Chain A
């Protein structure tokens, strides 16, 4: 990274080339820098979670029943490596990380990463479902209320969005279960399985993101639609939907992409309540479990894993931003 910085052309030279594309040196420098940040952040998360987790109490005492003998306790502590010095444990943890070895889960007697990867498809399925639901609801809502700004349509769409944004997920979940599972029996109340199982939890999880995206899309679109080039396009006699689709939406998408990216991150990490309410066997529930059982390696692994997802999504958002608008790289 430092090498790249040293050989980089002076800023004035960079400012000339703002075209983007694969051969763009400034773009690669930007990517390298962002990637370096990502590694640094993950290193810090790993270190802090290692220390925090060790402040939270003794796992050996959680694992053995209250009438276990002291000898049993010490033997278990030794086999788990918890009798070694903190530095010793830290070094072996960090060297393991380099090899993608996140340690052995104390309760599952298996590699922590395996335990997480086993739960990941469930969380991914739920996140994708929620994300799709959010977009399907948010994009038309944002467009309609932007185009009909100030009308009663706009007011009522935005009122609905506000309700969606301020209702807690667990409550929405329980309400949906009562109406659509218990009373109407259209969908199963909980658990994982076919498509029908995915509907209610996706709505529950996606509602909040959908509200945020709709609001942002509306204000961003309103701003863009006031620009001169829109007026020009309309003056050329283009159909309204064509103006909105090819000029309006494209230019309004920048801030929206950022938020969508962040929302994907929080969908992946923040599904804990929804997973709990719908008995969804995902990573969110695993995190809670690891904390309850004081499963050190698994706690560290889930924290690091969720942090990595969040940071990587952020990285992707930054990069796509840079591709969409080359000016961003220079700031």
Chain B
């Protein structure tokens, strides 16, 4: 064993050569899939990343934002939120109520779908009725009161409802209002439509490589004029550090949907920018007022609100990327009353309210949250403890959390849980509908006056009356405090200096107006 076989360098090379055949293999394999390196040809192509892929490209069969980010560039909706968050015309130019149970939409003339099919009232009838047809299994529930669509003439359509729906025009500004081509869908079938969607929107669908990218090219015949960018590519990149690296290496123009701490990783790159844009997703802690115990007492609920130092939470946990909300309604929504002030942070007051309610030494309780919100839940628990309330944090995986949230058992998530809600219609009705009226799914509050006010704002067409109802409702919500009121988060994204674009508050990646300057 002492005689080591010795080996000349030349011999080694020969043996190594046996394995070298393998080096050429990946080249052969990828030759068919290989395009030119995307990093090398930026051009007038806008490349944006999001973490999650669209689930389907059939706009009526999904209710999630990642799908909407793609589809809003291919399709148009009847109404639109502009960059100042105002409701303006899309495929409809104007609208008005007809009695209590119908809205009349006047449609834009001279619009065609990407396949040349004309847009008219029949297309609206087909689209809306397909969406509300139970057979479609659409998860978009906003249009549930719509029974049918009446074609008045070629460019006028009435959306008829079973109950008064004052915010129907708002509901057709995004998920509810996507218009699809009747002839194309009927001829090709639903599956083919989802594979190759055809809309009237600013970009024409090119191809979808699942979990990789969706590419679209500018619609030269778009009714608002051809978009400034020639091509839009939405890339799916689940990991924030690698998508930020792709931005830094010039492979991307924008990274969307960042959390504040992920955005921090970018550091100070001179030609890149982190943008914090106002958003409408509101967050709160729901309190179980129905199951007895300390939370059944109004004073206790008020005390917990006083115990929280919300501005500090926003600064420390969210890096400042949020704005405080006095109740559950975000600032941009119709019905938000600026006269209503948020709870003050006042530990002494919190303690005296607790004493008044019979809990001078505080009490123990449980705070549930999705594991994604672990830091926030722990920070809230830490602040409550200073007022003597020990809220043990219980974390659940996101899917379990959601199924308990919508469970029949309203106590399924325990006495307190942290949650969020997006009312994309930007009317306070959407922010309140599931949480306030005693018979709604996620309501843990039983108050006759609150129920009455909800009925008023949901069933009155007159916006003045609705505004009054919303104001009284917010006053009542603050006094009775069935929630801990927290904040509305901002949309955080990173972009290079080439991209000129403004995101509106509903946070969708609508790029009809985006421009790319010189790098």
Contact = CB atoms under 8 A, between A and B. Distances in A.
Partners in one complex: yes
Interface of A: 56-58, 61-69, 72, 75-76, 79, 107-110, 115, 118-119, 121-122, 125, 128-129, 132, 135-136, 139-140, 143-144, 147-150, 173-174, 177-178, 181-182, 185, 188-198, 202, 225-226, 230, 234, 239-241, 243-245, 276-279, 281-282, 285-286, 289, 292-294
A64 B406 CA distance: 10
Given A61-B402, A107-B55, A195-B27, A125 B12 contact: no
Contacts of A226: 1
B26 A195 contact: yes
Given A67-B434, A68-B139, A279 B5 contact: no
A305 B248 CA distance: 37
Contacts of B15: 139-140, 143, 241, 244-245
A190 B242 contact: yes
B11 A118 contact: no
User: Which of B53, B144, B236, B239: most chain A CB closer than 10 A?
Assistant: B239
A57 B18 CA distance: 52
B56 interface: yes
Contacts of A193: 33-35, 37-38
The 8 residue pairs across chains A and B that have the minimum distance between CB atoms: A281-B211, A241-B11, A194-B34, A189-B246, A281-B212, A279-B237, A61-B403, A132-B22
A66 B245 contact: no
B403 A136 contact: no
B16 interface: yes
A297 to B, nearest CB: 14
Nearest to A146: B5
A306 B427 CA distance: 47
28 contacts: A57-B399, A61-B407, A63-B139, A64-B141, A66-B402, A67-B433, A107-B55, A109-B56, A110-B191, A128-B26, A132-B23, A136-B23, A173-B242, A177-B241, A181-B251, A189-B248, A194-B37, A196-B37, A226-B1, A230-B5, A239-B11, A245-B14, A278-B242, A279-B243, A279-B246, A286-B211, A289-B53, A292-B398
A57 B139 contact: no
Given A195-B26, A279-B236, A119 B211 contact: yes
Contact size range, B: 35 or more
B441 A67 contact: yes
B317 to A, nearest CB: 24
Contacts of B211: 119, 281-282, 285-286, 289
A122 B33 CA distance: 10
Contact of A181 (B6, B210, B212, B245): B245
A282 to B, nearest CB: 8
Nearest to B139: A64
A234 B26 contact: no
B237 to A, nearest CB: 4
Contacts of B237: 190-191, 279
Contacts of B140: 65
Given A185-B250, A194-B34, A136 B239 contact: no
B403 A66 contact: no
A177 B39 CA distance: 14
B339 interface: no
Contacts of B209: 192, 281
B427 to A, nearest CB: 14
Given A66-B441, A67-B433, A198-B26, A276 B245 contact: no
Given A144-B7, A147-B7, A279-B239, 16 more contacts: A64-B406, A66-B441, A69-B144, A108-B55, A108-B56, A109-B191, A136-B20, A188-B39, A188-B251, A194-B33, A194-B37, A198-B26, A239-B11, A241-B11, A277-B242, A279-B237
Interface string B88-131: 00000000000000000000000000000000000000000000
A58 to B, nearest CB: 5
A122 B210 CA distance: 11
Contacts of B137: 75-76, 79
Nearest to A194: B34
B55 A279 contact: no
Contacts of A240: 5-8, 11
Nearest to A130: B26
Nearest to B250: A185
B134 interface: yes
Interface in B393-450: 398-400, 402-403, 405-407, 433-434, 440-442
Nearest to B22: A132
A56 B210 CA distance: 26
A198 B27 CA distance: 10
Interface in B34-65: 34-39, 49, 53, 55-56, 58, 61, 63
B400 A57 contact: yes
Interface string B242-281: 1101101111000000000000000000000000000000
